[in-house]
């Protein structure tokens, strides 16, 4: 197969790039496993592929101390409805987001400053006001709650929507066949080599598929250095995160129905976490 652009990695970034590039008359192919399961999220020796977008809940929010971050977040969120409409799929639900942090934490002042400069909604609740207005949240005494606009993204559906639009625009997706070996999912459609030559590069997958592309976009996130796809490793620092998926009882879910997404900034960064609203 010969194309203008091959995109390696069918996660959030690769799928968005696929939709965008295939609408610009480029012959585009997206190569990568479809929805890698949580069991392989950290990769293993049979399957070094890791993914950050395997579940259904991602927080989108409008405030952070970094202005560029805020501008990009707002620009992204502004596109969600039109992508949903075109793809006829729903992946974004708007809801408030609360950042709970020590009152004197630089993140709080940074968010307030961003809100002022970039004209975003921002309400800072004292500990007492937070207790009254956010009864689902018990905060330490020295904490405040910053309320901002945001929402929840179902990353799997968002990826499907982006890919569906890319395909409608004549892009091609190679997901290949997955197989299970000793109870481990092995993805035969991962890219194993990118061989550069004059005028482009050849992209080779584990199942032997070969694609010649004038340009290759590698969107493999934390897996990039594991799989040695680039001639030189990227200066990436990979770290571990603990992910807890909870299925609350109906009564608990009912009690939490007024909950918003929560970012909890710990006094010690190791105690920080974020919690999504119930997604089902």
Angle at 257 between CA 252 and CA 261, to 5 degrees: 105
Contact between 163 and ligand FAD per CB under 6 A: no
2-10, 82-90, 175-183, 247-255 -> range binding ligand FAD (CB under 6 A):
2-10
Are 221 and 229 in contact by the 8 Å Cβ rule? The answer is: no
Q: Smallest gap, in angstroms, from Cβ of residue 59 to ligand FAD?
A: 4
Q: Does 59 bind ligand FAD (CB under 6 A)?
A: yes
Stretch that binds ligand FAD, among 51-59, 80-88, 230-238, 248-256 (CB under 6 A): 51-59
Cα–Cα distance measured from residue 28 to residue 12, given in angstroms and rounded to the nearest whole number:
16
* Closer by beta carbon to ligand FAD, 14 or else 200: 14
DSSP letter string, 94-159: E--EEEEEETT-HHHHHHHHHHHHHT---EEE-HHHHHHH-TT----TTEEEEEE-EEEE-HHHHH
Closest C-alpha to 47, from 183, 231, 142:
183
218 sits near ligand FAD (criterion: CB under 6 A): no
Assess 176 for contact with ligand FAD (CB under 6 A): no
Which residue number, 31 or 134, has a Cβ lying nearer to ligand FAD? 31
**Residue 17, interface with ligand FAD (CB under 6 A)?**
no
How far is it, in rounded angstroms, from Cα 67 to Cα 8? 30
Of all residues in the shown chain, the one whose CB is closest to ligand FAD is 11
Q: Whose Cβ is closer to ligand FAD: residue 11's or residue 171's?
A: 11
Binds ligand FAD (CB under 6 A): choice among 22, 28, 47, 51: 51
**Cβ-contact 148, 99 below 8 angstroms:** yes
Q: Tell me if 10 contacts ligand FAD by CB under 6 A.
A: yes
Question: Of 89 and 131, which CB lies nearer to ligand FAD in the complex structure?
Answer: 89
**Radius of gyration for the chain, computed over Cα atoms and rounded to the nearest angstrom:** 21
Count the alpha carbons within 13 Å of 122 in the hemisphere toward its beta carbon: 24
Exposed / middle / buried, residue 205 (Cβ in 10 Å: 0-12, 13-18, 19+): buried
Residue count, binding to ligand FAD (CB under 6 A): 27
Q: How far apart (Å, rounded) are the C-alpha atoms in residues 204 and 77?
A: 35
Residue 104 φ then ψ, to 5°: -95, 15
State which of positions 229-248 bind ligand FAD (CB under 6 A). 229, 241, 243
**Is residue 225 a contact point for ligand FAD (CB under 6 A)?**
no
Of 87-95, 100-108, 118-126, 219-227, the segment contacting ligand FAD by CB under 6 A is 219-227
Residues of the shown chain interacting with ligand FAD in the complex, contacts defined by CB under 6 A = 8-14, 31-33, 36, 49, 51-53, 58-59, 190-191, 219-221, 223, 227, 229, 241, 243
């Amino acid at each position: 197969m010969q194309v203008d652009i091959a995109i390696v990695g069918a996660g959030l970034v690769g799928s968005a790039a696929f939709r965008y590039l295939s609408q610009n008359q480029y012959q585009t192919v997206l190569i990568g496993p479809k929805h890698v399961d949580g069991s392989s999220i950290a990769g293993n020796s049979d399957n070094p592929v890791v993914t950050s977008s395997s579940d259904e809940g991602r927080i989108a929010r409008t405030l952070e101390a970094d202005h560029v971050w805020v501008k990009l977040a707002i620009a992204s969120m502004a596109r969600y409805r039109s992508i949903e409409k075109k793809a006829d799929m729903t992946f974004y639900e708007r809801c408030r987001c609360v950042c709970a942090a020590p009152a004197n934490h630089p993140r709080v002042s940074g968010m307030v400053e961003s809100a002022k400069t970039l004209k975003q909604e921002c309400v800072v609740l004292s500990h007492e006001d937070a207790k009254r207005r956010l009864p689902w949240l018990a905060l330490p005494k020295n904490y405040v709650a910053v309320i901002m606009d945001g929402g929840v993204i179902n990353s799997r559906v968002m990826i499907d929507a982006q890919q569906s639009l890319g395909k409608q625009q004549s892009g091609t997706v190679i997901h290949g066949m997955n197989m299970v070996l000793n109870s481990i999912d092995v993805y035969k459609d991962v890219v194993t080599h990118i061989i550069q030559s004059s005028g482009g590069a050849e992209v080779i997958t584990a199942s032997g598929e070969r694609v010649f592309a004038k340009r290759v976009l590698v969107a493999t996130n934390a897996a990039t250095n594991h799989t040695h796809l680039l001639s030189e490793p990227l200066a990436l620092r990979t770290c571990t995160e603990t992910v807890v998926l909870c299925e609350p009882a109906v009564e608990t879910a009912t009690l939490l129905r007024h909950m918003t997404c929560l970012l909890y900034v710990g006094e010690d960064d190791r105690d920080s976490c974020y919690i999504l609203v119930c997604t089902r």
